[in-house]
Amino acid sequence: MGLEIIKPDVNINFIRLRPLALTCSGILIILGLISLLIKGGPRYGIDFAGGTIIQVKFNKSVKADEIRAVLKKLNIQDATVQRFGPIENHEYLIRTKITSGSLQRVAEALKKELETKLGKGTVIIRRVEMVGPKVGKDLREKALLALFYAILAIGIYISGRFEMKWGTSAVMAGILLGVVYIFSLFKIPLSFLVIVAFVATLALYVVLNLRFALGAVIALIHDVFITVGVFSLLNKEIDLLIVAALLTIMGYSLNDTIVVFDRIRENMRKRGRENFATLVNRSINETLSRTILTSATTLLALLSLYLLGGAVIHNFAFALLIGITVGTYSSIFIASPILTILEGKQFFFKKEKGIKE
């Protein structure tokens, strides 16, 4: 017998909790958006903003102000100095907007000045990386495109898998991709273009009555928005590693949502005249044990990665912790309840067109 931590006959009324869940999600998203507006957008890492990052290790305790004094002497302006890893490691990350000149020369000059101040042999330059502003902008746009294409592909899959509308969703995707390409020829900013494409995608899902796809995609956007919002509220950096985490979150959240959707579809075949909201609620309860077990084991692994994985992947693990927690929540409280909202006046499943008897 399989392990079950939730009794098979459990009957929690998740649909009744929908208004509270949507309110909590709305508050989190609004707080994140307010933070992003106040700060002028996410705090981009070197990957996206451009600039130079220098990782320095000392063999004794050094204060950040001592490093800033040396940077000022070298005329390196607008530099930020941040402790990296545990205090006992005596490591710092130095970020600056400098994107020209020899990296080796900058690093050597910094090391020389620091050793003059602190003593010879006390400084080790661990790494020096530079990204130009144009490359950073290109990477930002490509990251946004990656998220858009992922959500579009997911919408196509969900529409075909659960509503048997492969042709409709494929035509919709072709139109959207064509519009994006045509508008890109007019040199419209890609970030603005992708946002418009996101809105157009959601509108087309509504017009074409792709309810399962709309529920899944809204849940995915919900997860991404909350994760990015938490990063903004905590003033954490968004870089390529975090984009990878966001794509991972989308995949995990979709997996949870598909399990629930699949049970909903099975129950739709069995119980022809059962009220839609009741059936959805029953389906969530039937998959609850699996959802909690899968999420709990995943979160334990991520918690270990977050606590023991080191400073380099600290933000990556943190993003996954937030995203997978929110993704599990959204599968239960966002994706499935949205189906009941979209159900409208179709109270009985004999009116469903996308389900084979």
Exposed / middle / buried, residue 135 (Cβ in 10 Å: 0-12, 13-18, 19+): middle
Closest CA to 58 of 121, 127, 129, 128: 121
Q: What is the pLDDT of residue 300?
A: 92
Q: What percent of the chain has pLDDT over 90?
A: 13
pLDDT for 222-272, tens place per residue? 999 999 999 999 988 888 888 889 888 988 888 888 888 888 888 888 766
Q: Is the pLDDT of residue 297 over 50?
A: yes
Burial class of residue 150, CB neighbours in 10 A (0-12, 13-18, 19+):
middle
Site of tokens 């490093």: 67
Instruction: Tokens 């956007």: give the residue.
Output: 221
Phi/psi at 236 (nearest 5 deg)?
Answer: -95, 155
Q: How far apart are CA 356 and CA 161, in angstroms?
A: 12
**Given this model, what pLDDT does residue 168 score?**
79
pLDDT: is 25 or 51 the higher one?
25
- pLDDT tens, position by position, 176-185: 777 777 777 7
Q: How many CA atoms lie less than 13 Å away from 277 in the CB half-sphere?
A: 14
Residues contacting residue 172 through CB under 8 Å, at least 6 positions apart: 201, 204, 208
Structure token digits, residue 74: 């070298």
* Region(s) of the chain under CATH 3.30.70.3400: 51-131
| Torsion sign, CA atoms 214, 219, 220, 226 | positive
Cα–Cα dist 252/259, whole Å: 11
Are the beta carbons of 279 and 351 closer than 8 angstroms?
A: no
96 compared with 279, residue with greater pLDDT? 279
Enumerate the CATH 1.20.1640.10 domain ranges in the chain, comma separated: 18-45+135-351
CA angle 319–229–252, rounded 5-degree value: 40
Burial class (CB in 10 A: 0-12, 13-18, 19+), 232: buried
- At 33 the pLDDT is 92
Give all strands (DSSP E) within the chain, no chain letters.
43-44, 51-58, 80-83, 91-96, 123-131, 237-238
What is the CATH number assigned to the segment(s) 18-45+135-351? 1.20.1640.10
- For range 317-332, the mean pLDDT: 92
CATH fold, domain 51-131, is Alpha-Beta Plaits (3.30.70)
